[in-house]
Structure formats: structure tokens, C-alpha cells
């Protein structure tokens, strides 16, 4: 009979369960992400900014010398000591951030030149404005003219928000020159609160979605969900092209918050998503009224496509999608151009506008949507990782809060 030890001493090390280990890893990545995002924001903030001075001669054609007086540029020619023109910068919120315009004005109050100092719009949309010579419309107009879209300035179809921002920037610059240099102060602009169909629709969709996802009757829940999805697709998609995009997220992070009176929709959309995700830990948008999600889901309904995501590739696809969202945010913050971050094919579908690459991208997604359930949402959309991040941060904060409460109760 073999000797058996009387006792065997085992040293047991505390082992974290795999779930806990995964969570810790995720939290390290979250902290690293926040640090990098803050660093990108700081870099973008420091390195951004356009020197307006070199642009002044473009908008005061007769000037050979320029003086600066406060926020006003005054142009002189060699022949005379009398000013030959004035220039000022006006700024107004566009789709993705403020648009700054330099406006030159002759002493008689006629606009002599207009130049785009800075813009943060989606390149595809802004090209519409550039290609249609939109800014040429301001030439020869007087500072006292309305300079309003739909009145004396024609809008650009498909880029109305950017066109409106340019017109308003020009107006503000013109009013500034008029008041400061021409001694003709014009009445200040009033900003009426804009409440229209998109604003009403989004509030209704949040409301119906909130009630709908709490319904116990699955049949009714399904019906209501289809109702909100189709409403989102038609109203927020095909009619107004106002889906939630990564551009909105980057604008929010960059601090490019438009005035609420004329951009109530922006605040309702972003505020609603942040509020519901933070308070309720639910993503109210994607499955209930995302226009592009609804479009893909409709195609899946027609073809009978099902969810396809192999389990062993799940981790790879999840991190790839997170990586895309992260790079998009980083690009937008580094360049302080939220419009550049966006790669979603929403405008290509709903506005039928896009570059060749964007059309190929949309075409592949449409074909894939007939073969599997919501391929863009499940593998490529940058917004899903954003919700995930908010939900994970919420969970973390709650954990810390509870731990702190327990410790204070013990103490």
C-alpha cells in the first residue's frame, strides 16, 4: 500500500470568472477610448482655425492694402485714402457644424465678394453647393436686401440646411458691416422656434416606441413596431432625410451645438436617445424607428432573410464594428469636421445622392439585405457601438454608486 500524505495543502488563487474578465477588459478599452477621444478633441481644437486675412483680397477686389479694425477689415487702394470696401466674417450653424463666411462690401453697400472661410459639412452635400455656384447669387446684392433663401436667394436642392447656414452667415456679416462701417444699423434677426412635421413625428415616435416596447401582447407589440418603423422610414427617411448619424454624435462631442430655436429636431433626436439609453438602458432608435433599419428590415420581410452571425466570428465582427465607430469619431474630432466622419449610406438611399463609391456601397447592402437580416446594422453601423458604450458606462456608474452606498451604509 502506497504512503498517502496526511494532508495536502492547496493554495487557491482567486480566479475571476470569464465574464468578469471580459468585462474588465472592456472597461480598460472604454477608458483608453475616452482618453484617445479627449486627446483627439484637444488636438483638433488647437490645430483648427483659419486665418481670414489672406482671404480678404478675394472679397474686396479693388483693395491693395487692408487694415483691421476690431472684427472689421477695411480695404484701401493705392490711389486713394478712402476705403474701397469692407469685409467681415459671419457664422451660422450648418448641418454638421458652424459655417463661416467672409463677406466683402463696397462703401455703397453692395456685396463685392463672398468666400467660404470654414465649413464642417458632409463633403457630398457641400459639393452640391460648390458645384451649383450658390454663393455667386450674393454678388451685387445690397446689405439691406433680405438675403434669405426662398426670397432673393435660391436654395440648393438636397443641401438646404447648408445653404440656409451660408445665407445666414452672409446676412450676419453684411449686417455687421452695415452697422459698424456704413452707419446703417439694420434690425437684428429674430429666430422663431421651428416646430414642424419632423419635430412632431420624432416626439410621437419616441412616445409610441416607449409604450410599444412595454406591451405584453407580442402581437400588438409587433404591429406597433412595424407602424413606427414604416413611419420612420417614410417621414424621417424618404421625405425629410433626417436619420440619426455619426455626424450628429461628432458635432455633439465637438461642441458644435446649433441654436435650439431653428434646430429643435437635432436636440430632440440626440437628447431623446441619450435620455432613454441612460435612464432606461434601452436603445429607442434602432429597432423602433431607424429609417435605414426599417428599409433593410422591409427587404428581409420580402425575401424572408434571417439573422446570420456565426458564433465563433461574433467577437471579430463586434470589434470591427467598434473600430469603425472609433475611427469615424476620431477623424471627425481630429479635423473638427463632423461631416467627414459619416460613412452611412442614408443620404444615398433617401436623397438619391452620392458618389460612385457610395452607390456601390449602398448596392451591396441592398443585395445583402435580401439575404440576411439588417446587414448594415449588424456589422457596419457606427451607432450601435455608441449605444453599447453609453449602456456599459451606465452599468459601470451604477455599480460604483451601489458599492459606494454599501460602504457608506457600513460606515
Partner 1 sequence: MAKTERESLKRRLLIGFVLVNVVLIVLVWADGLVEHETVDPSFYRETFVFDDSLYITETALAEEYGFEPVPTHEEGEEHEHSGGGGGNQ
Distance in Å from the first CA to the final CA of the chain: 57
Residue from 54, 187, 192, 304 in contact with partner 1 (CB under 8 A): 54
Structural element, H or E, at residue 29: helix 18-47
115 contacts partner 1 (rule: CB under 8 A): yes
Residues 91-110, interacting with partner 1 (CB under 8 A): 107
131 contacts partner 1 (rule: CB under 8 A): yes
The count of chain residues that interact with partner 1, using the rule CB under 8 A, is 65
Residue from 61, 140, 207, 255 in contact with partner 1 (CB under 8 A): 61
377 contacts partner 1 (rule: CB under 8 A): no
Instruction: Quickly count helices (H) and strands (E) in the chain.
Output: 16, 5
* Distance of alpha carbon 105 from alpha carbon 59, whole angstroms: 8
Shortest spacing between CB 373 and partner 1, in angstroms: 12
Buried residues in 72-85 as b, exposed as e (16+ CB within 10 A): bbbbbeeeeeebbb
Residue from 39, 357, 397, 400 in contact with partner 1 (CB under 8 A): 357
135 contacts partner 1 (rule: CB under 8 A): yes
Contact between 137 and 153 under an 8 Å Cβ cutoff? The reply is yes
70 contacts partner 1 (rule: CB under 8 A): yes
| Site map 299..328 versus partner 1, x via CB under 8 A | ---------x-x--x---x--x---x--xx
* Distance of alpha carbon 155 from alpha carbon 329, whole angstroms: 30
Contact between 170 and 138 under an 8 Å Cβ cutoff? The reply is yes
Closer residue to partner 1 in complex, CB, 134/289: 134
CA 140 to chain centre: 34
DSSP assignments along 346-408, one per residue: HHHHHS----HHHHHHHHHHHHHHHHBS-HHHHHT-SHHHHHHHHHHHHHHHHHHHHHHHHHH
58 contacts partner 1 (rule: CB under 8 A): yes
Residue from 40, 41, 44, 74 in contact with partner 1 (CB under 8 A): 74
Residues that bind partner 1 (CB under 8 A): 53-54, 56-61, 63-72, 74, 81-83, 107, 113-116, 122-124, 127, 130-131, 133, 135-136, 139, 180-181, 308, 310, 313, 317, 320, 324, 327-328, 331, 335, 339-341, 343, 355, 357-358, 360-361, 364-365, 368, 372, 375, 379-380
Amino acid at each position: 500500500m502506497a504512503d498517502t500524505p496526511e494532508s495536502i495543502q492547496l493554495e487557491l488563487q482567486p480566479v475571476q470568472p470569464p465574464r468578469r474578465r471580459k468585462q474588465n477588459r472592456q472597461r480598460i478599452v472604454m477608458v483608453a477610448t475616452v482618453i484617445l477621444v479627449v486627446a483627439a478633441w484637444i488636438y483638433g481644437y488647437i490645430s483648427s482655425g483659419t486665418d481670414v486675412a489672406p482671404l480678404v483680397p478675394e472679397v474686396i477686389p479693388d483693395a491693395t492694402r487692408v487694415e483691421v479694425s476690431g472684427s472689421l477689415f477695411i480695404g484701401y487702394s493705392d490711389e486713394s485714402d478712402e476705403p474701397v470696401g469692407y469685409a467681415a466674417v459671419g457664422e451660422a450653424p450648418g448641418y454638421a457644424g458652424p459655417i463661416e463666411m467672409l463677406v466683402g462690401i463696397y462703401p455703397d453697400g453692395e456685396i463685392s465678394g463672398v468666400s467660404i472661410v470654414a465649413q464642417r459639412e458632409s463633403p457630398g452635400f457641400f459639393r452640391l453647393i460648390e458645384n451649383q455656384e450658390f454663393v455667386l447669387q450674393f454678388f451685387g446684392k445690397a446689405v439691406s436686401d433680405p438675403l434669405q433663401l426662398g426670397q432673393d436667394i435660391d436654395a440648393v436642392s438636397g443641401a438646404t440646411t447648408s445653404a440656409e447656414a451660408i445665407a445666414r452667415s452672409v446676412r450676419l456679416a453684411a449686417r455687421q458691416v452695415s452697422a459698424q462701417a456704413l452707419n446703417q444699423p439694420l434690425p437684428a434677426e429674430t429666430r422663431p422656434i421651428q416646430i414642424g412635421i419632423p419635430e412632431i413625428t420624432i416626439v410621437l415616435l419616441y412616445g409610441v416606441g416607449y409604450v410599444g416596447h412595454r406591451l405584453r401582447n407580442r402581437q400588438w407589440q409587433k404591429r406597433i413596431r412595424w407602424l413606427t418603423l414604416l413611419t420612420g422610414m417614410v417621414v424621417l427617411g424618404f421625405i425629410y432625410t433626417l436619420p440619426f448619424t455619426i455626424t450628429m454624435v461628432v458635432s455633439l462631442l465637438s461642441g458644435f451645438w446649433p441654436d435650439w430655436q431653428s434646430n429643435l429636431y437635432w436636440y430632440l433626436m440626440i437628447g431623446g436617445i441619450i435620455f432613454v439609453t441612460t435612464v432606461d438602458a434601452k436603445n429607442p432608435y434602432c429597432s423602433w424607428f431607424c429609417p435605414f433599419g426599417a428599409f433593410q428590415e422591409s427587404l428581409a420581410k420580402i425575401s424572408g432573410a434571417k439573422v446570420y452571425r456565426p458564433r465563433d466570428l461574433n467577437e471579430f465582427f463586434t470589434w470591427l464594428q467598434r473600430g469603425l465607430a472609433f475611427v469615424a469619431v476620431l477623424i471627425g474630432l481630429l479635423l473638427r469636421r463632423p461631416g467627414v466622419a459619416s460613412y452611412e449610406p442614408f443620404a444615398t438611399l433617401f436623397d438619391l445622392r452620392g458618389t460612385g463609391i457610395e452607390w456601390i456601397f449602398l448596392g451591396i447592402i441592398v443585395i445583402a439585405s435580401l439575404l440576411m437580416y439588417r446587414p448594415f446594422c449588424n456589422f457596419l453601423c457606427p451607432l450601435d457601438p455608441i449605444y453599447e458604450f453609453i449602456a456599459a458606462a451606465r452599468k459601470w456608474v451604477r455599480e460604483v454608486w451601489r458599492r459606494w452606498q454599501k460602504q457608506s451604509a457600513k460606515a
